[in-house]
Amino acid sequence: MTTGAARWAAPGRVNLIGEHVDYAGGLCLPFALAQRTVVEASLLDEPRVRARSRAEPGTVDIALDDVGPGSPPGWAGYAAGVLWALRVAGHPVRGMELLVTDTVPLGAGLSSSAALECAVALAADELSGLGLSRTELAAACVRAENEVVGARTGGMDQAVAMLATADHALLLDTRDGATRQVPLSPTGDGLAVLVIDTRVRHRLADGQYGARRAAVEKAATALGLASLREATVSDLDGLDDGLRRRARHVVTEIARVRQVVAALDAGELASIGPLLDASHESLRRDYEVSCRELDLACEMARLSGAFGARMTGGGFGGSAIALVPRSRVDDVTRAVGNAFAASGYRAPAIRQARPSAGASRVG
């Protein structure tokens, strides 16, 4: 038996800049998308979670006491895992029925996982009367994904899904968790941010993520620093060539985030194109996490009118972003699509990204 269904929604995100620096105490600058995951939720009078999603087959029905690392397996781990994380933090979560009705595109690098978690977290907070802050709820979402699903996530996705405001990017300092809203309104400036989903995900992504993370930690240790956040480019001279290139990406990327933030604070969004391009080059050459599809998307976007373009997210597939004058959106969309077709790649999915608000109750 259920009582009183209501709906909560949380957005997907893209990262404007600050890639592969969250595990080095760096700065990142994501913003929330208009695309949202919607969860309809109601209390159950038993301590269970019953979950369904229009995006995945089947119903999961599990006692709250049986939720934990690896359980339930599959997609429901993201949802039930949030209830588990809240419970292990000592909060009296009640049984819930969850129906996921709409979704951020899954696995496109737009963070459908955090959107699902954050919508569930808000629902749980309100229905169980927990009164937690958005930061506390985001922490439970991170814990659910790390420990119940077993996927590595640094916390950027959950922070932006919870804390974003419309027409702003969220500057997140991963060293201490501090955040600041930075104005970002492409439409107002006659611009658009296009998200180009390559619709490929190369299989080496997972192992390579661990290897990059280990390299960054090794470089910090070799330099006697707590993290590469503390390093300057000249500090890196003593590292061997392979490690130096990895570390150079992190150090220069953090500097680029600061420059982008300064440009946005000054109302000069159109000027950040070269910083986006430099970020992509650094990820491609020094960090080696790009792939042919991402390189092609960025190159064609630039050639057909974008001010700048870069891969966004972990790499090896997923999405790129391009900063484009609104008058050139169609040109860029066509040029990227044609180039993908000529290379025999799947047609990319290209969407406009509008900096949108974070999670909320919607009905």
CB-nearer residue toward ligand ADP: 155 or 273: 155
Q: Does 113 bind ligand ADP (CB under 6 A)?
A: yes
CB-nearer residue toward Mg ion: 111 or 312: 111
Q: How far is the CB of 24 from ligand ADP (least distance, A)?
A: 21
Report residue 266: phi and psi, to 5°: -90, 0
Residue 363: strand, helix, or coil: coil
| Separation CA 118–CA 157 (nearest Å) | 10
- Contact pick of 100, 139, 141, 164 for ligand ADP (by CB under 6 A): 100
Q: Which two tokens stand for residue 114?
A: 């955090």
Number of residues binding to ligand ADP, judged by CB under 6 A: 17
Q: How far is the CB of 266 from ligand ADP (least distance, A)?
A: 32
* 157 catalytic per annotation: yes
Q: Does 113 bind Mg ion (CB under 5 A)?
A: yes
| Omega before residue 72 within 30° of 0, cis | yes
| Separation CA 146–CA 355 (nearest Å) | 27
Q: Does 116 bind ligand ADP (CB under 6 A)?
A: yes
Residue 132: strand, helix, or coil: coil
Q: Within a 10 A sphere around the Cβ of 81, how many other Cβ atoms?
A: 30
Q: Which two tokens stand for residue 330?
A: 């169609």
Q: Angle formed by the axes of helices 241-265 and 273-281, to 10°?
A: 160
Report residue 347: phi and psi, to 5°: -65, 130
Report residue 97: phi and psi, to 5°: -105, 135
Q: How far is the CB of 9 from Mg ion (least distance, A)?
A: 17
If you count them, how many residues does the chain have?
363
Which residues, 73 to 92, sit near ligand ADP by CB under 6 A?
75, 78
Q: Which two tokens stand for residue 153?
A: 């996530």
Half-sphere exposure of 136 (CA within 13 A, CB side): 14
- The residue range among 2-10, 23-31, 98-106, 191-199 that interacts with ligand ADP, by the rule CB under 6 A, is 98-106
Contacts of 185 (CB under 8 A, 6+ apart): 167, 269, 355
- Contact pick of 35, 42, 103, 356 for ligand ADP (by CB under 6 A): 103
Q: How far is the CB of 110 from Mg ion (least distance, A)?
A: 8
Q: How far is the CB of 81 from Mg ion (least distance, A)?
A: 13
Site map 159..198 versus ligand ADP, x via CB under 6 A: ----------------------------------------
Residue 106 contact among ligand ADP, Mg ion, none, beta carbon within 5 to 8 Å by kind: ligand ADP
| Separation CA 349–CA 112 (nearest Å) | 16
Residue 307 contact among Mg ion, ligand ADP, none, beta carbon within 5 to 8 Å by kind: none
Question: Which is nearest to 307 in space by CA: 182, 196, 192, 169?
Answer: 192
Q: Does 319 bind ligand ADP (CB under 6 A)?
A: no
- The residue range among 64-72, 110-118, 173-181, 225-233 that interacts with ligand ADP, by the rule CB under 6 A, is 110-118
Pick the catalytic residue: 157, 197, 277, 286?
157
| Separation CA 91–CA 130 (nearest Å) | 7
Site map 20..59 versus ligand ADP, x via CB under 6 A: -----------------x---------------x-xx---
Residue 33 contact among Mg ion, ligand ADP, none, beta carbon within 5 to 8 Å by kind: none
Report residue 318: phi and psi, to 5°: 80, -145
- Contact pick of 109, 186, 308, 315 for ligand ADP (by CB under 6 A): 109
Q: Which two tokens stand for residue 171?
A: 């500057």
Please give the residue ranges that form the binding site for ligand ADP (CB under 6 A): 37, 53, 55-56, 75, 78, 100, 103, 106-113, 116
Residues marked active site are found at 157
Chain positions contacting Mg ion, by CB under 5 A: 111, 113
